[in-house]
Structure 1
């Protein structure tokens, strides 16, 4: 079934720990992403069989797999931890899709590894379903992201603050290599490993790059596009540590992530982000900070230190203009103005939205059918802005193609998780179906587009570890 070609396992053993997933007692398939299975060249029918579910649960290791936990370090909320690593995930290996694209197949929540740091290595049902829903919505919106192939219940209890049902997520990614992976070897001054990792990432993700500096340039450009995509959706990652920034440019590790309802630039949901370090508006600056850590790792490979520092600094500074161009393009599209709209027009609209706590998604989508005005209490202020906007003859078709009808609203995710805890997966399946068709207008899904009632508002999200 899986045709593995495990390039990461061929790197030196200091890059990982060989480890088997820990079997579970009563695996049961909760969700299978049949479209993604087809993209990967996998037989969905077999994956749904007892033999396939056994693999997805970690009970059976398929032929050709070389299970491992990756080593990495990371800055967590600004504080450096020299050893983190996959504490509750096992990389089964890499497969080649029919179009020749390489993908990691990882089991998340598959048991303890040498990097578990006293953790149980497990995941409970809630974070697994959350990541499944959010990552597949992001993929449907064209945002670079890891994907969810399957969710499996383990039939076992996971203890957090209370007893919760366990689950395993099968995650698919271009790779799971992070800024923190480079930091792991940089802090140990292991230049041979840094060079091997650099060569591996260039070959795997950026074959046009011919040097460590060119790799840095490529990662800076990729992250500028990804962060701009987040901002245009009102997405807040919640835990932008360097070990959660993939060098591929993919969005990775959907822990306490959330989407804004009422717009405010300083919105924070993560229960552990008590200082607002990773608020919505701060994400571009944090990306620069993370990229500076990445650049620091590459400097020893870039020749004489003085010129290397200067070149690396210049590369990181390119993030700002690249990001600003991507941001303006995306928000221009959201307003139906293709190309480079007047930045002041966009910022005036966002300021107006923030002052009146207008719903982020409903306001932009409402520009299509004229309902955006209803999101404002001061209609006259909106009308004044709208007159300038309409003078530019916005393309309503572009607005409709850019702004989703629905997003993974926090209260809807929580409702789906609560139902799943009673063994009712219908809300999860309905939400999953609706989110992968984010531009589709259907009466039976209208409630999923609604903003939360005051009693439904979710104020905090949690990592699940």
Structure 2
């Protein structure tokens, strides 16, 4: 590994340095060798991955640290939060020259653990490991993981479960909540902290007339695009608190996430979210709300005589969130549908298709795949209201008439995955892993690496939701 230790350059108020606390009986779970290669791990480091992914060994030249931050959780100010069970154990250079965080999850108590035990359980570690891998395979900005380890040590949740650790990677673990903590508890650090964020993650903004405003515009744009990408593949994050969104617009913190199966815009995948604040359809508006909270924490950076103008500039920047989201979403939906971007009726036709999926409760991923494969009769046979489907198909074929349909089909193939991480798929892998069998984790890992093409390891149950008489897997924040 080639170190680029940046975060320890910040004021020590912003973190606490400590060693990880290994679990008893650590053992190999799964290793992402391709990711380790991209991070320039040596052969010796790859051979020793279990020790690095279980906290038994740290990276020479970097003292592990827990970050402190704050946040709004379910819309309410939650005060000081922080890395309660994770440690930044290194920052390394990738083959492309990017600086990547290595973050060990489940590494033990920190000063920010509050009432937690600082641990993670095998169930949640496997879900996060596969989810980050799945989103990366889908081309969506996200954290990833080099590997995870299990152990013989139990951790108490609703029941006793095996403890585990995950070595997560991300382009940044700096959250919107970092700015909230600084403004509340260490306002004198705001200028230097913001400057470092710009230097590290948005250096192109340094040459702008107003670097902080340019930084804000970048964060807003990237967040809008990330959430549009979520909506396009049916991904629901589940807990979009301000401390769970980072400044680079890459997906972070997989708790009660889920990939939508039957198309229900009001789907709540977190059974702890009684009010549905973080339902699938609310994600775009919650992203906007979180950014509004964050932008208020940049206002103190303005000079006194220019504060009102700076507020207006930030408000104008936030106004670009919605059109950025809609433009990206509309383009992506047209691509999934195989419809031309320049046709006036393309988006309306795409929305009609979504209305059919909603009213008929059809599988989101499989329905787009059938459309791509021109299995129109199969789609029609699944509809109770065949007249509605016939109207859609007439409009769809009229729009595609006289178009280069071969080119449109290629675009569809690139934007409609065959595989998503369905909850019941993850659950089977978890149940096997709890019996020390990680073969199902490995099978899903291979499928999700190439989600747009058929894999020889495919099983029929990978392609559809559970039958209507089978209960869906309930996912909570417990991990």
User: Which segment is superposed worse, 276-285 or 394-403?
Assistant: 394-403
Q: What is the deviation of 1:444?
A: 4.1
- The reply to whether residue 205 of structure 1 matches residue 201 of structure 2 is yes
Change over 3 Å in CA distance of 1:444–1:191 after alignment to 2: closer
State the match for 2:416 in structure 1: 403
Determine if the alignment matches structure 1 residue 116 to structure 2 residue 113: yes
Q: Answer yes or no: is the 8 Å Cα contact 1:367–1:399 preserved in 2.
A: no
**2:7 maps to 1:8:** yes
Distance 1:118 1:280 in 2: 29
Q: Show CA shifts across 1:295-349 (max 9, x none).
A: 0011111333221221111111110011000010110100012435532212211
Between 1:103-112 and 1:349-358, the stretch displaced more is 349-358
1:390 paired with 2:392, answer no
SS in 2 for 1:104: strand
> Whole-Å Cα distance in 2 between the matches of residues 54 and 148 of structure 1?
15
Q: How far, CA to CA, are the matches of 2:280 and 2:289 in structure 1?
A: 15
Distance 2:61 2:170 in 1: 18
Normalised TM-score (structure 1): 0.96
Aligned residues: 461
Determine the C-alpha separation between the residues in 2 that align with 1:157 and 1:295: 42
Alignment of 1:300-311 (within 5 A): 300-303=300-303, 304-311=306-313
1:384 is displaced (CA, Å) by: 1.5
Q: Name the SS of the counterpart of 1:445 in structure 2.
A: coil
- Structure 1 range deviating more: 366-375 or 293-302: 366-375
Secondary structure of 2:251's match?
coil
1:321 aligns to what? 323
Say if 1:377 and 1:424 are closer, same or farther in 2 by CA, change over 3 A.
farther
Which residue matches 2:126?
Answer: 129
- CA separation of 1:229/1:374 partners in 2, compared to 1, >3 Å: closer, same or farther? farther
Give the conservation status (yes or no) of the 8 Å contact 1:30–1:151. Answer: yes
Q: Pairwise CA RMSD of aligned residues?
A: 1.5
Q: What corresponds to 2:68 in structure 1?
A: 71
Distance in 2 between residues matched to 1:253 and 1:221, nearest whole Å: 20
After TM superposition, list the pairs within 5 Å mapping 1:101-112 onto structure 2: 101-112=98-109
2:53 counterpart SS class: helix
- Looking at structure 2, the residues matched to 95 and 404 of structure 1 have their Cα atoms a distance apart, in angstroms, of 31
Q: Report the 3-state secondary structure (helix = DSSP H, G, I; strand = E; otherwise coil) of the residue aligned with 1:61.
A: coil
Question: Distance in 1 between the 2:419 and 2:390 partners?
Answer: 25
Query: Given the alignment, which residue of 348, 366, 373 partners 1:369?
Result: 373
One of 154, 158, 176 as aligned partner of 2:155:
158
Deviation at 1:32, TM superposition (A): 0.5
Contact 1:127–1:463 (8 Å) recurs in 2? no
Measure the CA separation in 1 of the matches of 2:72 and 2:430. Answer: 30
1-side partners of 2:10 and 2:381: how far apart? Answer: 57
Distance 1:99 1:351, change over 3 A: same
Q: C-alpha separation between the residues in 2 aligned to 1:197 and 1:208?
A: 17
How high is the TM-score relative to the length of structure 2?
0.93
Q: Contact 2:65–2:88 at 8 Å: present in 1 too?
A: yes
| Residue 235 (str. 1) matches residue 232 (str. 2) | no
Distance of 2:142 and 2:41 partners within structure 1: 20
Once the two structures are TM-superposed, the CA of residue 155 in structure 1 deviates from its matched residue by 2.3
What is aligned with 2:429? 416
Report the CA distance between 1:75 and its aligned residue. Answer: 0.3
1:163 deviates by 0.7
Match in the other structure for 1:36: 35
Task: Work out the CA distance in 2 between the residues paired with 1:46 and 1:153.
Answer: 21
Q: Mapping of 1:171-186 within 5 angstroms?
A: 171-186=168-183
CA distance in 2, matches of 1:442, 1:104: 31
Task: Give 1:18 deviation, angstroms.
Answer: 0.8
Instruction: Measure how far apart 1:456 and its partner are.
Output: 4.1
Question: 1:84, 1:240 → 2: CA distance?
Answer: 15
Residues 411, 456 of structure 1: 8 Å contact kept: no
Give yes or no for contact 2:131–2:421 (8 Å, CA) kept in 1: yes
Rounded to whole Å, the distance in 1 between the matches of 2:443 and 2:39 is 24
CA contact (8 A) 2:180 2:294 kept: yes
Distance 1:32 1:455, change over 3 A: farther
Q: CA deviation at 1:38?
A: 1.0
Q: Secondary structure at the match of 1:111?
A: coil
The equivalent position to 1:195 in structure 2, one of 160, 183, 191, is 191
Matched, 1:462 2:476: yes
447, 452, 455: which is aligned to 2:466? 452
8 Å contact kept, 1:68–1:90: yes
Tell me the distance in 1 between the aligned counterparts of 2:129 and 2:384: 36
1:287 matched residue in structure 2: 287
Does residue 359 of structure 2 align to residue 355 of structure 1?
yes
Structure 2 residue runs of 5 or longer lacking an equivalent are none
User: Secondary structure, in 3 states, of the residue corresponding to 2:390?
Assistant: helix
Per the alignment, in what secondary structure is the counterpart of residue 454 of structure 1?
coil
* Mapped contact 2:33–2:46 kept (Cα < 8 A): no
Distance across 1 between alignment mates of 2:113 and 2:242: 18
Moved more, 375-384 or 74-83: 375-384
